Structure 1
Amino acid sequence: MPQIDEVDLDITNVAHGGVFVARHEGRVVFVPDTMPGERIRARITDRTHDSFWRAEAIEVLDAAPERQDHVWSSASIDRAPAQRAGGAEFGHIRIEHQRELKRRVIADALQRMAKLDIDVVVEPVEDETVDGTGWRTRVRLQVGRDGGFGPYAARSHTIVPVTELPLATGQVGETTPFGQTFAGAESIDVIATGSGAGHVLVNEAPVKRGKRFVRPRQRPVPIRETVGDREFRLDARGFWQVHRQAAATLTEAVQSAVDEALFDPRAANLDLYGGVGLLAAALGDRFGSTLRITSVESDEAATDNAAENLADWLGASAVTERVERFVTRTASESSAAERARLRAATVVLDPPRSGAGRAVVDAIASLAPAQIVYVACDPVALARDVALFAERGYPLRTLRAFDLFPNTHHVEAVATLAP
């Protein structure tokens, strides 16, 4: 029997990762560029897994009422799949329904992995645009062999030339050097600071030295960002929240997530994966000048900046070390008095998309802190770690979610865990 490449599918659910769920002859099929309630024509692209296939949507046969014209024409289903720009995978869905789908993903992950039935709401951020555009303050664009640049197509390394970036702020759009070429570069970063300054950073491709490829060292580009009345120093290539309102939103969310009855400013409080000190400063601004807190980050440049950004608090320090190593060492080497201060501590952590993982969860739990505030950008990693913390005596107490990545599948969450 000949292999069938194109099939008509009924989309029934949303899955983590910006794809949607259908079934064909009893097998799960994951498809992007659609949504629940639609019937589509799809082309099967991956049959390598026994339990599921992957496909690409090529035509909408019966559209859901929540479908809209894509906010980015370069990512529209009208284009061939290999020429659809990645990075706006929910842009064909009305913004309110995007948040409902993100809510379902969070709730499903918590139910499956942590056995929790949580009714969470995905909150819009202050000053959001009607269609969820104009929020990105940082964009990375890939450079091809001809020096031209653009985003990758979804799930590929095909560069899609574009002439607009609708998810980006106006300043990023004006700064992006459309029409120019960057021969020999690997990518460019376009960054707009809160003060309105625009930067184009050229990231050179690795060069071969002996048997190895070595990435050229990049000269630091110092910039400053402002959150409320507080200014933060950082390197333009370093981590900073992408949404123009994200830093302020997470500052308020973390301040609110801390249970004041459990908080001791003089305890050995910790800010893990601390970056340039944004969330440590959030606690300092809420709880005052007596705050004692250690911000831990593996990136030395970020730690140097954090030391300056946290200089208002004499009890604040910044340590350059991998979080797992720091917490494990702290648990094993602390004096009795320091362990008592750790037991009174609040631990804030903002891990990468992969989450903290069992080793870090076990190390934090071994300190027996008073409470944990977990900032997460991946609902599945969050659900896994929530389950791990619960096993160690730290069940989920509160959870909020924020739509800090409109028109994409990503969502931010802030959880409080306490005995």
Structure 2
Amino acid sequence: MQPGESLDLDVTDVAHGGVFVARHEGRVVFVEGAIPGERVRAELTDASKASFWRADIVDVLDASPHRRPHVWAAADVSVAPADRPGGADFGHIDLAEQRALKKRVLDDALVRFGGIAEPVTTISPAGKPGEEAPGALGWRTRVSLHVDDEGRIGPFAARSHRVIETPDLPLATAEIEAVARGLEGFGPGRVDLVQPAEGGVRVIVRPAAPAPTRPDGAQATAEGASGADTRA
């Protein structure tokens, strides 16, 4: 099979990195945007490795009871995979199940890499006891956005260097989201938005480094950054 072809898959588990596990003819397929227990239709994005493939969900054939509308409309399953921004991998799952799945990943890591036979982990909401933003949104105090050659500003699509312009950043604090809406006029590179505890939002501009010149005079491809820190 080749990238772009579709598979109907039964999703059985969660893996590190915000992806989910299915199998096709014995081969592991890591699927973006699924939930264990679901049957989904997924589009292959990488079939280059013998040990595993990667795929993006394009339709839910048998939904989990834990599925909810994605908290970031731009990343919903109804959007073409190439146009979904990355960074909210579990946004389609209800909160209690998100935490259960993250605990499963952590416990598995402690067993396999830490040699702990019976790990005991807890995952609790941040902040004061009993307090939590509705839907667990608006908590992220650091966001990295990217600027492409056309001046578009936004997150990358998942596992891509393609900039996706979005009208909102639901996981970011309200202050960071407000600053992000006003960003414009930057050259290619990266823009980090950081909200320290003392308040305000720092805008750290990291222009893309010019490609170095090879001995033959041609331009080599390289990435780098020099930062400029301003406050908003």
**TM-score computed with the length of structure 1 as normaliser:** 0.49
Q: CA deviation at 1:215?
A: 5.0
Once the two structures are superposed, the pairs formed by residues 197-216 of structure 1 within 5 Å of their partners are 197-208=200-211, 210-211=213-214, 215=224
Once the two structures are superposed, residues 172-198 of structure 1 have per-residue CA deviations (whole angstroms, 9 ceiling, x without a partner) of 11111447332x230112222333312
- Cα distance change on mapping 1:186 and 1:216 into 2, 3 Å: closer
Partner of 2:54: 54
SS at 2:135's partner residue?
coil
Distance 1:216 1:7 in 2: 40
Amino acid at match of 1:118: P
Partner of 1:168: 172
Partner of 2:163: 159
Q: CA deviation at 1:217?
A: 4.3
Distance 1:18 1:208 in 2: 33
Partner of 1:372: none
Once the two structures are superposed, residues 297-327 of structure 1 have per-residue CA deviations (whole angstroms, 9 ceiling, x without a partner) of xxxxxxxxxxxxxxxxxxxxxxxxxxxxxxx
Partner of 1:227: none
SS at 1:171's partner residue?
helix
- Cα distance change on mapping 1:179 and 1:121 into 2, 3 Å: closer
Amino acid at match of 2:120: D
SS at 2:112's partner residue?
helix
Q: CA deviation at 1:170?
A: 0.7
Distance 1:137 1:200 in 2: 12
Partner of 1:218: 227
Q: 1:119 aligned to 2:120? A: yes
- Cα distance change on mapping 1:142 and 1:219 into 2, 3 Å: closer
Amino acid at match of 1:130: P
Amino acid at match of 2:125: P
Cα RMSD of the aligned pairs, angstroms, is 2.4
- Cα distance change on mapping 1:45 and 1:179 into 2, 3 Å: same
Check whether the contact 2:202–2:229 (CA below 8 A) recurs between aligned residues: no
Distance 2:46 2:38 in 1: 21
How many residues align? The count is 221
Check whether the contact 1:206–1:214 (CA below 8 A) recurs between aligned residues: yes
Check whether the contact 2:206–2:226 (CA below 8 A) recurs between aligned residues: no
Distance 2:115 2:224 in 1: 44
- Cα distance change on mapping 1:50 and 1:128 into 2, 3 Å: same
- Cα distance change on mapping 1:198 and 1:115 into 2, 3 Å: closer
Structure 1: 5+ residue stretches without partners? 224-419
**Where does structure 1 differ by over 6 angstroms across 4 or more consecutive aligned residues?**
none
Higher RCO (C-alpha 8 Å, min separation 6): 1
Distance 1:215 1:113 in 2: 33
Partner of 1:42: 42
Name the structure where helix makes up a greater proportion of residues: 1
Distance 1:214 1:60 in 2: 38
Q: 1:187 aligns with which of 185, 190, 211?
A: 190
Once the two structures are superposed, residues 395-417 of structure 1 have per-residue CA deviations (whole angstroms, 9 ceiling, x without a partner) of xxxxxxxxxxxxxxxxxxxxxxx
Q: CA deviation at 1:138?
A: 1.5
Partner of 1:75: 75
Check whether the contact 1:207–1:216 (CA below 8 A) recurs between aligned residues: no
Q: CA deviation at 1:202?
A: 2.2
Check whether the contact 2:209–2:226 (CA below 8 A) recurs between aligned residues: no
Q: CA deviation at 1:51?
A: 1.9
Distance 2:223 2:97 in 1: 45
Once the two structures are superposed, residues 330-385 of structure 1 have per-residue CA deviations (whole angstroms, 9 ceiling, x without a partner) of xxxxxxxxxxxxxxxxxxxxxxxxxxxxxxxxxxxxxxxxxxxxxxxxxxxxxxxx
- Cα distance change on mapping 1:5 and 1:168 into 2, 3 Å: same
SS at 2:190's partner residue?
strand
Check whether the contact 2:7–2:41 (CA below 8 A) recurs between aligned residues: yes
Structure 2: 5+ residue stretches without partners? 215-219
Partner of 1:14: 14
SS at 2:35's partner residue?
coil
Partner of 1:148: 152
Check whether the contact 1:140–1:189 (CA below 8 A) recurs between aligned residues: yes
Once the two structures are superposed, residues 246-304 of structure 1 have per-residue CA deviations (whole angstroms, 9 ceiling, x without a partner) of xxxxxxxxxxxxxxxxxxxxxxxxxxxxxxxxxxxxxxxxxxxxxxxxxxxxxxxxxxx
Amino acid at match of 2:199: G
Partner of 1:378: none
Query: Which structure has the bigger radius of gyration?
Result: 1
Q: Share of identical aligned residues, percent? A: 44
Once the two structures are superposed, residues 197-225 of structure 1 have per-residue CA deviations (whole angstroms, 9 ceiling, x without a partner) of 1232322121256548685643556x8xx
Distance 2:204 2:82 in 1: 27
Partner of 1:27: 27
**TM-score computed with the length of structure 2 as normaliser:** 0.86
- Cα distance change on mapping 1:8 and 1:197 into 2, 3 Å: same
